[in-house]
Amino acid sequence: MFNIIRFSKIFTVIFLNLHTINRFGHHELTNEKLFIRQLDAGKNEIKNIQQPVDHFDAKETRTWNMTYIQNLEFWKPNGPIYISIGGASSYKTQLNIFKKGFFLYDLAKETNGALFGTEHRYYGKNTPLSNTNTENLKYLNSRQALADVAKLIKHVKSKLKAENSKVVVAGGSTLGNAGNLAAWMRLFYTDIVDAAVSASGPVLAKADFKDFFEIVGENYLKYGTSGCYDKITKMFIRFQTLLSTPEGTKQLKKEEEICDFVNMSMKENQQVFFEFYLDKYILSAYVAPDVTYFEDECEKNFNDTNLESDLFLSKPDYVVRDEQGWCYNFDFFQLFNRKFKDCWLYQQCTEFGAFPSTEAGKHPFTNSLPVEYYYKACKLQFGPEFGKNRVEDGIKATNEMYGGLHPNVTKVVFVNGEFDPWRRLGVTENLSDDAPAFVIAKSGRAELLIHPYMDVDSDELKDARKKVKSLVKKWIGL
């Protein structure tokens, strides 16, 4: 059953990612005051560094203030410098890892290191340009983000008078490309980065990520209760059956509290509905602390929505108020045609793809969400030129630049979790002796970095932390 230790671990992950679960635009962290109170006062400093809007065009002279976190609690001269790279969320979602019991914090303590956390451009309060139009987002890409981190490294080494200090970068987040960026920092900046930890980094760009829901389905088939997988299949088949007739559609709208104004005969709106339900299973890859999570989920009523919890925790953009009260808005046009552009979706449409579709593969979710849904979303959000061809061109350029599943790197350790569907886009086999990779059994996304050490941790996770620490220390000469 669901004990207090397991609940604490799940709550930690959800709390770290309240900002990132919502995929339609970016809002500040829910209940921020409660979050900030968890910090160790006086040890973490929030600072800013001036960054170029464009690192690669000397004619572009505009700058912006990048936010970063600094912790010098254990720092001693010439000690190592650890850089935690931020993903697709504000710096606030990183603050909790700057506490006792988290991987990088404890590693800094063991080695007399300095610890820093970066905020990815465009995902925080300070940003190069506003995300109110597509033109402003042209500076949102991985190369610019890598250059931001490189400039920060040079800045802190100068401030600390630490020219001889070794630098270790680490990245792992539930949304975005922090794990990728860590590996790619070693690829492009070997002169200033000595080692890297890439946790759950989907380094391969791919448009139709149909493998995603295969892994989700495997998790429920392998670790769910008896009959759970079939129960999910029947639920999704029932949804499709209801939506195939006017009478069934009317019934579904009533059962699921869908707003009256939403035309559920439109296939795009139906696909929004299915994405909403699929997100419930996507979440399992991020918060499952052990295999009993899937058993607990299977024991619940899969067809039970909760307007109050969805409004507070996971999907406030789906929940609106009409004449009848609170209801779910699954209108494709309204959700994607917004003033503020979704920054992570922009990077998917221009660099990474990784659109989870259900058209093919062995899973219980039927063919409810085609990849074309995402292509339409790209075009509606950013303009008619951001369709399938733009996505595929961006993916090709990304893989050519970074090497896909075979980046030419050393002193990088690639760590993935068994529960994490993104591992299908990650490095899961050793590239060399100095670029090892392993998958942690019974582990979720980026657990190595974003989960605190707790009694509930599996032996596999504990062993992985020891291995990664040993590698990092060896690579920086400790």
Place of tokens 């659109």: 355
Please say whether the beta carbons of 32 and 43 come within 8 A: no
Tell me if residue 204 falls in helix, strand or coil.
coil
Q: How far is CA 314 from CA 29, 247, 310, in A?
A: 11, 30, 5
Q: Residue 301: its pLDDT value, please?
A: 57
pLDDT level of residue 16 (50, 70, 90 thresholds): very low
Q: Report the sign of the C-alpha dihedral through residues 398, 49, 346, 269, in that order.
A: positive
* Alpha-carbon separation of residue 84 from 27, 43, 170, 255, 376 (angstroms): 22, 16, 5, 44, 34
Token pair belonging to 149: 């981190």
Which residues, 6+ apart, have CB-to-CB distance to 315 below 8 Å?
21, 22, 276, 279
Q: Judge contact between 142 and 106, C-beta under 8 A.
A: no
349 vs 354: CA distance, rounded Å: 9
For residue 326, what are its two tokens?
């609170």
Please check whether residue 216 is in contact with residue 364, taking contact to mean a CB–CB distance below 8 angstroms: no
Could you give the CA distance from residue 98 to residue 42 in angstroms, rounded to a whole number? 12
d(CA 89, CA 178): 10
pLDDT in tens, 60-118: 999 999 999 999 999 999 999 999 999 988 888 888 788 888 899 999 999 999 999 99
How many whole angstroms separate alpha carbon 180 and alpha carbon 205? 10
CB 175 within 8 A of CB 17: yes
pTM of the full predicted structure? 0.89
Q: How far is CA 83 from CA 68, 108, 167, 194, in A?
A: 10, 10, 7, 11
pLDDT band at 296 (very low <50, low <70, confident <90, very high): confident
Torsion 295-301-302-308 (CA) sign: negative
Two structure tokens written together for 458: 């599996």
Q: Is 219:295 a contact under the CB 8 Å cutoff?
A: no
Highest-pLDDT range among 1-5, 91-95, 124-128, 186-190: 186-190
Spatial contact of 407 and 179, defined as CB atoms under 8 Å apart: no
The pLDDT of residue 29 is 37
pLDDT tens-digit readout, 24-62? 333 333 334 433 444 444 588 999 999 999 999 999 999
Fold classification of 4-204+404-475 is Rossmann fold (3.40.50)
The pLDDT score that the predictor gives to residue 305 is 53
Q: How far apart are CA 292 and CA 107, in angstroms?
A: 29
Domain boundaries, the chain: 4-204+404-475, 207-397
CA atoms lying within 13 Å on the CB side of residue 78: 3
The count of other CB atoms within 10 Å of the CB of residue 158 is 10
Sign of the four-CA dihedral 356, 362, 364, 368 = positive
Question: Helices 267-287 and 372-382, interaxial angle, to 10°?
Answer: 100
Are the CB atoms for 409 and 219 separated by under 8 Å?
A: no
pLDDT surpasses 90 at 268: yes
Question: What is the token pair recorded at 436?
Answer: 């090892």
Report CA-CA distances (Å) from 327 to 134, 201, 255: 30, 36, 11
The one-letter code for the residue type at 224 is G
Give the H/E segment covering residue 375. helix 372-382
| Residue 140: predicted pLDDT | 97
* Cα–Cα distances in angstroms (integers) from residue 42 to residues 98, 145, 352, 401, 478, in the given order: 12, 28, 38, 41, 28
385 CB-side CA count, 13 A: 5
CA-closest candidate to residue 195, choices 413, 423, 457, 448? 413
Beta bridge partners, 46, equal 69
Least confident of 81-85, 204-208, 357-361: 357-361
* pLDDT at residue 316, rounded to an integer: 56
Instruction: Label residue 338 by pLDDT band (50, 70, 90).
Output: confident
What is the average pLDDT across 314-342? 82
Q: Name the average pLDDT for the chain.
A: 87
Model confidence band, residue 302 (pLDDT cutoffs 50, 70, 90): low
For residues 216-227, b (16+ Cβ closer than 10 Å) or e, as one string? bbbbbbebbeee
* pLDDT at residue number 23: 44
How far is residue 211's CA from residue 213's CA, in Å, rounded to a whole number?
A: 6
Q: Give the residue-averaged pLDDT of 413-440.
A: 95
Q: Any residues with CB less than 8 A from the CB of 61 and at least 6 apart, and which?
A: none
Bigger pLDDT: 282 vs 125: 125
Radius of gyration of the chain (CA): 22
Q: Is 413 exposed, middle or buried (0-12, 13-18, 19+ CB in 10 A)?
A: buried
- The proportion of the chain whose per-residue pLDDT surpasses 70, expressed as a percent, equals 87
Residue 453's pLDDT is: 75
Residue 178's pLDDT is 94
